[in-house]
Amino acid sequence: MLNNRKMPLTNIEISQAKTDGKPFKLFDANGLYLLVTSTSKSWRFDYRIGGRRGTVVYGLTTELTASKARERHREAKQLLASGIDPATHKKLEKLALQASFGDTFEATAKHWFDSKSALRSKAWQEAHSLYLRRDLNPILGNVPLDQIDARTLLNVLESVRRDRGVKTAERVRQTAAQVFDHAIRKLKVQANPARVLQGWVDVPAQVSHEPLREDEIAEFVERLDADTGSTATKLCILLMLLTFVRKNEMVQCRWDEFDIDNAVWTIPAERMKMRDAHVVPLSRQALAALEQLKPLSFASDFLFPSLSSLYKPMNLATPNVVFERMGYGGRFTPHGIRATASTWLNNRGVRADVIERQLAHVERNRVRAAYNRADYMFERIAMMQMWADFVLPDQVTSGDKLVVPLPQQTQEV
């Protein structure tokens, strides 16, 4: 049918339009038409832009009235006059609607957190979840993002600083910054007030604890042996020293992660910082410590159960208390064990790749990381035994049962 119609279609014409065979166009006005098929009737518009033909479909008559179709047609004609393809514009609007997750801070924060958490460590999840739930959402949760400026956020941060300290307040700002970065990427806002507030307060510098010197390691073991705390806690620290894993990886470990027969400890991915399972070869000294520890865990799933419950591990701060009591407060911490072992092994000529792999560090060179999948397991086994023989030289043996020389104590940390 030719487009020579000047008057809009009437409601009767629209409702009575039918075909039992070939589809046809029933024109309305200004290029708007109704495509009538044997199963449906839809409002459409054919146009040309940039030498190309295009068609925009406004919708079916069952879901779009004639007046609404004409309104959308006017909008499409305005877009076309501005050089914008109306069909492409409609697709983008639909995609934006499908990707929509609300404009409030809490809705955006949830979308950001959910999109990241599966690939992040448990510590990351717990930290950001806490800052959102406790510090940000109660005040900003229901506020539209575009209404949150730097002054509003600053008031929140000052409140956190008064209640919880400046370091926590800065971490809260960093969480907010990531939420707003996410909102910018999703075209929710154009500015990030948390980035504007970078440097809003002087944060005390992080204290970097030096590793123990080689001649101090034996003294550390002697002080640990002489400490009056519980044997379980001291074995925890000794195993940290022998395996140089992160504190949380040791404190929260479970018995089912250990294969004693094959002398390996496999830390599951969900407990690792970089979300990759990590294998720790166990030296003879480490196996002896585990044997001594077994009856002290009272059949708990955890190697180091809490005093208050066998169903949860000891507090992460417990080893630090022992370090303080041993006289290392302010200069050596559980985390410093990793640097101590790394320094000693590097000085012994152990290959850096082997040490870094045992430390579960991520290769910073992305190209190298993509190709270097080596585990260096034979070298790591020898390295761990060499380190253990240095830490506990009296325990070097060719096969006799080892007894780690730590006194049995009943006092807890």
Task: Pick the closest to residue 358 from 283, 300, 305, 291 (CA basis).
Answer: 283
The yes-or-no answer on residue 18 being catalytic is no
Residue 172 burial by Cβ neighbours in a 10 Å radius (0-12, 13-18, 19+): buried
Q: Among 91, 213, 348, 361, which one carries the catalytic annotation?
A: 361
Q: What is the rounded distance in angstroms from the CA atom of residue 53 to the CA atom of residue 85?
A: 10
Q: Give the list of residues 6+ apart from residue 279 with CB closer than 8 angstroms, or none.
A: 264, 265, 266, 267, 375, 377
Joined tokens for residue 237: 């620290």
Q: Which residues are CB-contacts of 110 (< 8 A; sequence separation ≥ 6)?
A: 101
Q: Which ranges in 99-227 belong to alpha helices (H)?
A: 105-117, 122-130, 137-140, 150-164, 166-185, 193-196, 214-226
332: left (phi over 0), alpha (psi -120 to 50) or beta: beta
Q: Is 338 a catalytic residue?
A: yes
Catalytic residue among 90, 110, 134, 273: 273
- For tokens 């009767």, what's the residue? 12
Q: Which of 72, 188, 246, 357 is catalytic?
A: 246
Which entry of 70, 111, 182, 338 is annotated as an active-site residue?
338
* Separation CA 76–CA 65 (nearest Å): 16
β-strand partners of 34: 26, 43
Q: How many other C-beta atoms can be found within 10 angstroms of the C-beta atom of residue 224?
A: 19
Q: Which residue has the tokens 């707003």?
A: 180
Query: Among this protein's residues, is 73 annotated catalytic?
Result: no
| Tokens coding 301 | 């799933």
The whole-angstrom separation of Cα 321 and Cα 314 is: 12
| Active-site annotation holder among 48, 371, 373, 401 | 371
Catalytic annotation present for 185:
no
| Catalytic annotation present for 213 | no
| 8 Å CB contact between 173 and 150 | no
| Exposed / middle / buried, residue 386 (Cβ in 10 Å: 0-12, 13-18, 19+) | middle
Q: How many CB atoms lie within 10 A of CB 408?
A: 8
Please say if 246 is a catalytic residue: yes
Catalytic residues: 246, 273, 335, 338, 361, 371
